[in-house]
Structure 1
Amino acid sequence: MYNGLVTNPSKHMMCLSDFPYPTEYPTYLNNHHVIKYYRDYVKHHHLEKYIIFDTEVIDVRPANDAGGQWIVTTKHGKHKSSGIYDAVMVCTGCYSKIRMPNYPGMNEFKGHIMHSNKYRNGKDFVGQTVVIAASHSAGDVATQCSHHAKATYISFRKVCNVLGRQGPNGMPIDTVMNRRCLTVLPKPIQLGIMKYLIESRIVVNNSNESVKEDLLSGSFMLNDSLLNRIANGALEVKSRVEMFTEDGVKFVDGTTVKCVDTVICATGYFTTFPFISTDILDETRLELYKLILSPKYPTLAFIGAVGSPGALGPIFELQARWTTSVLSGRIILPALKIRQKDAKSRIDSIIQKFGYQKILLPSVPYQDDLARDIGVKPTLGLFLTNPNLAVKVFFGPAYPSSYRLKGPRRWSVARRTIMRSGENIMEHVLSM
């Protein structure tokens, strides 16, 4: 976690459904807040006794042809051991193996090339000429480097829409964009709202392309400082990298930056599960029922192998709740062919949309789909029993606690949490 890291989602949208962030925490959190929150969550729910620390999983394989049970081999220090388990939930997510680009001339480049995963502090680049190949973390890296480096350049592969963390009237942008009422609107209206919310945009080559009709096909970045650093000349935007030279970088628009000391590649990660055979799961396809469950092996689930423009923690929590409901028998799975068809069609549509496997989905519809299966999705009947709460749930931000109002693991404080979240947001807005 690099110096000065701040969360993109607000604390109101990224908390777990039965454990809000403390009211005294700021709207956007640093890494120390987040680490303490999860440690407090573990302590509150007495989870530490279930956790085995300092242990690496090195192999997961079916215990028999039926695939009901699993042999899991682990390594603690030099000691290896194996055990048989009824089910496995793989929760290593999408960010375990860095993705480095392969541009012509990289081997001849005399400067330093690194992944943003290794970046810690802009002060490490004092007096240097730095090029950052852009993805989501590139905005923070570029703005921090621009305060210390001699010259800083940020390279975008395509149109990048840059949003501040605060939306209209100072509201956190994710509380404005992630609302159930928006998901039922026609696509043109959704697009119009999206255009309205984007107060400024960075466009490669200084063209003026509009937001893509498909709201998820464009590139979005949350950053509060990037545009100011560009406007005052401390940071310069470049087009996509074409190749490296011995002492610099050439871009597809024909321009070149020479005497480059460091290139930082904020180019993302591969989704990989090295402890699982490709016979069990093809990492290049990730065909999973509901983007969670292996169709062939219904006791093997993958939590967190998805991405979203919104907060990820609540999505992963619902995936875990859905999986435990399947394993306990509360959710009855459809036939194998139906699961396989669902898994294949989801990946096919993603590849058709983006041209490659990029599991990026709107958070509210996906969460509601899982919640419906579990029996915790808010329904319109709430307008009859509690109209004030219903207005908050359907027209206000889709707070994680809305999945604790009913059904299994209902939380008695959920209603009060939802009502107070809005008050807490306004307190922070008014105090700015």
Structure 2
Amino acid sequence: MRRTCVIGAGPSGLAASRVFASRNVPFDCFEAGSGIGGLWRYGNDNGMSGVYASLHANISKESMSFSSLAMPESYPVFPHHSKVLAYLEDYAASFGLHRHIVCGTEVTSVRPVDEGGWEVVCRRRGDTGEETRRYSEVVVANGHHWDPRLPAPAVPGAEEFEGTAIHSHDYRTPDPYAGLRVLVIGMGNSACEIAAEISRTAARTFLSARDAAHVFPKMLLGRPADHLVWSPLSGLPRFLKDPGLRLLLRLTRGAPAHYGLPAPDRGPLARHPSTSDELLVQLARGAVTPKPGVRSFGGTTAAFADGSREPVDAVVYATGYAISFPFLEPSLFAAPDGRTELYLRTVPPRIPGLYFMGLAQPSGAAFPLLEPQAEWIAELIEGAVALPSPADMTRAIAREWRRHRTTYVSTYRHGIEIDFRSYRRALRRERRAGRRRACGIMPSLSGVSGTTRAADAV
């Protein structure tokens, strides 16, 4: 009997569980922590959550909702992490998912079996031994915001720095930084919000970024900024959309120079958006001092690319996360440069029965894409749709990466960046094409086709 293993009970694993349960696909979901929610569970005892005490979602409740269950109307526009967790718990309860989820169970190894299927090794918390189970398919859904990534190579002098240094994954409250001189390294959402929060009580706060980035306010023209994904602006060609968004930012936020920030050399759509109202206010007040990239550390100082030096007591590296799955052999999955060789960010072309969820990072919320992705995986498991040939999928991935390099900046973080609308359309096209293949109407594709267009659209 076919049975699927789902690894992780965060948003991706819950979406997969909801879809599989509704379609009567037999499965087990393993969660290393003692509760569901993944990174949204503050202090998650699986050690994989980097949520800090004051964190609120940087995208609106409407954009975060699964299509099958809206967030409550009573929620604020940008809910606190505790409310997001409550929503995920309600999602699991509403669809009866708890009976499929085994909490407190870590997957330590996933290996293909010669005769087909997968051998999954699990260890329950508190047990000294391990249990091995067989599955026909494995869905990897344990997220990509848990393995802290530090600058590589390390900043010269970092080992000799005499102050404290942590990754933002370990940041919880600003209390330890009261009265100190703090350097936050990075320019993503975490860096912006943590720097703004620390600056309220720190003696001085510096925000260092190697590259200039656009900082979005959370609200644009009285609406959540992420609602642009659904606006007419989003449907414009990129050569019109990018300058249009740049103009909108200029009108609503002003020029970066007003906040002491350098002007970015790429348009707003070339990077994952950094969203923070508080940072802009703290920059304008002088509570946060922007700095270029760190060149080196002394015992109690940091030297920057512009030649300046500042005394520093503590460093917070908000430098992102590595994409890694320690239970998989490198031959099955590796993303050393942030690039995933997955067809539609889901299927490794030459490894049957292995699927990945949540490795597509849109500029808006990922939640609305998870259920359609899970529906496609369920259809593949059921045999209702068929994939292109491995060679065709590999060619489609190569075409996608050529397009990706011309669209986004070439950094590790942006290896999984996608356009929300394009990816959603690509999934729809592929599911339609897959049904025709499964019925024998469409042969494996090698030229210009629906599959090619679907992959190129991402």
Same fold (TM over 0.5): yes
1:367 aligns with 2:419: no
Change (3 A) 1:87 1:368: same
Give the whole-Å Cα distance in 2 for the aligned partners of 1:219 and 1:362. Answer: 10
1:298 aligns with 2:346: no
Give the whole-Å Cα distance in 1 for the aligned partners of 2:272 and 2:229. Answer: 17
Instruction: Verify the 8 A CA contact 2:341 2:348 in the aligned structure 1.
Output: yes
Instruction: Verify the 8 A CA contact 1:14 1:314 in the aligned structure 2.
Output: yes
Q: Which residue of 1 aligns with 2:192?
A: 139
One-letter identity of the residue aligned with 1:237: P
Deviation at 1:210, TM superposition (A): 5.4
- CA deviation digits over 1:130-157, x for unaligned, max 9? 0000232011111111111111111122
- CA deviation digits over 1:224-272, x for unaligned, max 9? 11111111121111111111111111110111111x1100000000000
1:106 aligns with 2:158: yes
Q: Which residue of 2 aligns with 1:354?
A: 409
One-letter identity of the residue aligned with 2:146: S
1:343 aligns with 2:397: yes
Q: How many corresponding residue pairs?
A: 370
Please state whether the residue corresponding to 2:196 is helix, strand or coil: helix
Deviation at 1:341, TM superposition (A): 1.4
Change (3 A) 1:348 1:356: farther
Deviation at 1:183, TM superposition (A): 4.5
Give the whole-Å Cα distance in 2 for the aligned partners of 1:79 and 1:344. Answer: 43
Instruction: Verify the 8 A CA contact 2:272 2:363 in the aligned structure 1.
Output: no
Instruction: Verify the 8 A CA contact 2:214 2:264 in the aligned structure 1.
Output: no
Instruction: Verify the 8 A CA contact 1:159 1:202 in the aligned structure 2.
Output: no
Larger displacement relative to structure 2 (358-367 or 30-39) = 358-367
Give the whole-Å Cα distance in 1 for the aligned partners of 2:264 and 2:133. Answer: 55
Q: Which residue of 1 aligns with 2:237?
A: 186
Deviation at 1:208, TM superposition (A): 5.5
Deviation at 1:163, TM superposition (A): 1.2
Change (3 A) 1:183 1:372: farther
Change (3 A) 1:349 1:375: closer
Q: TM-score, normalised by structure 2?
A: 0.76
Q: Which residue of 2 aligns with 1:9?
A: 59
Q: Which residue of 1 aligns with 2:366?
A: 312
Give the whole-Å Cα distance in 1 for the aligned partners of 2:258 and 2:109. Answer: 44
- CA deviation digits over 1:193-242, x for unaligned, max 9? 211331335469957535624x4324631111111111112111111111
One-letter identity of the residue aligned with 1:354: V
Q: Which residue of 1 aligns with 2:135?
A: 85
1:125 is aligned, of 177, 183, 187, to 177
One-letter identity of the residue aligned with 1:196: L
1:283 aligns with 2:331: no
Structure 1 unaligned regions, length at least 5: 377-432
Q: Which residue of 2 aligns with 1:391?
A: none
Change (3 A) 1:100 1:263: same
Instruction: Verify the 8 A CA contact 2:261 2:290 in the aligned structure 1.
Output: no
Q: Which residue of 1 aligns with 2:43?
A: none
Q: Which residue of 1 aligns with 2:85?
A: 35
Deviation at 1:31, TM superposition (A): 0.8
Please state whether the residue corresponding to 1:354 is helix, strand or coil: coil
Change (3 A) 1:6 1:127: same
Please state whether the residue corresponding to 1:282 is helix, strand or coil: coil
Change (3 A) 1:243 1:208: closer
Give the whole-Å Cα distance in 2 for the aligned partners of 1:165 and 1:43. Answer: 31
Instruction: Verify the 8 A CA contact 1:249 1:256 in the aligned structure 2.
Output: yes
User: Alpha carbon RMSD of aligned pairs, Å?
Assistant: 2.2
- Higher RCO, Cα 8 Å, sep 6+: 1
One-letter identity of the residue aligned with 1:217: A
Q: Which residue of 1 aligns with 2:310?
A: 257
Larger displacement relative to structure 2 (14-23 or 308-317) = 308-317
Instruction: Verify the 8 A CA contact 1:331 1:373 in the aligned structure 2.
Output: no
Instruction: Verify the 8 A CA contact 1:159 1:219 in the aligned structure 2.
Output: no
One-letter identity of the residue aligned with 1:43: A
- CA deviation digits over 1:278-303, x for unaligned, max 9? 12223324211111011012310010
Instruction: Verify the 8 A CA contact 1:183 1:365 in the aligned structure 2.
Output: no
Give the whole-Å Cα distance in 2 for the aligned partners of 1:252 and 1:275. Answer: 39
Deviation at 1:179, TM superposition (A): 2.2
Deviation at 1:161, TM superposition (A): 1.0
One-letter identity of the residue aligned with 1:167: L
Matches within 5 A, 1:146-295: 146-168=199-221, 170-175=222-227, 177-179=228-230, 181-198=232-249, 199-200=252-253, 202=256, 206=260, 209=263, 212-213=266-267, 215-218=268-271, 220-258=273-311, 260-284=312-336, 285-295=339-349
Deviation at 1:39, TM superposition (A): 0.4
Q: Which residue of 2 aligns with 1:430?
A: none
Please state whether the residue corresponding to 2:142 is helix, strand or coil: coil
Please state whether the residue corresponding to 2:241 is helix, strand or coil: helix
Instruction: Verify the 8 A CA contact 1:211 1:218 in the aligned structure 2.
Output: no
Deviation at 1:349, TM superposition (A): 4.3
Deviation at 1:50, TM superposition (A): 0.3
Please state whether the residue corresponding to 1:107 is helix, strand or coil: helix
Please state whether the residue corresponding to 2:243 is helix, strand or coil: helix
1:324 aligns with 2:378: yes
1:63 aligns with 2:110: no
Deviation at 1:346, TM superposition (A): 2.8
Segments of 4+ moved more than 4 angstroms: 203-208
Please state whether the residue corresponding to 1:74 is helix, strand or coil: strand
Larger displacement relative to structure 2 (261-270 or 119-128) = 119-128
Q: TM-score, normalised by structure 1?
A: 0.81
- CA deviation digits over 1:148-188, x for unaligned, max 9? 111111112211211111111x111111x202744442222
Give the whole-Å Cα distance in 2 for the aligned partners of 1:212 and 1:132. Answer: 23
Instruction: Verify the 8 A CA contact 1:104 1:243 in the aligned structure 2.
Output: yes
Instruction: Verify the 8 A CA contact 2:61 2:79 in the aligned structure 1.
Output: yes
Deviation at 1:59, TM superposition (A): 0.7
Change (3 A) 1:75 1:219: closer
Deviation at 1:84, TM superposition (A): 0.9
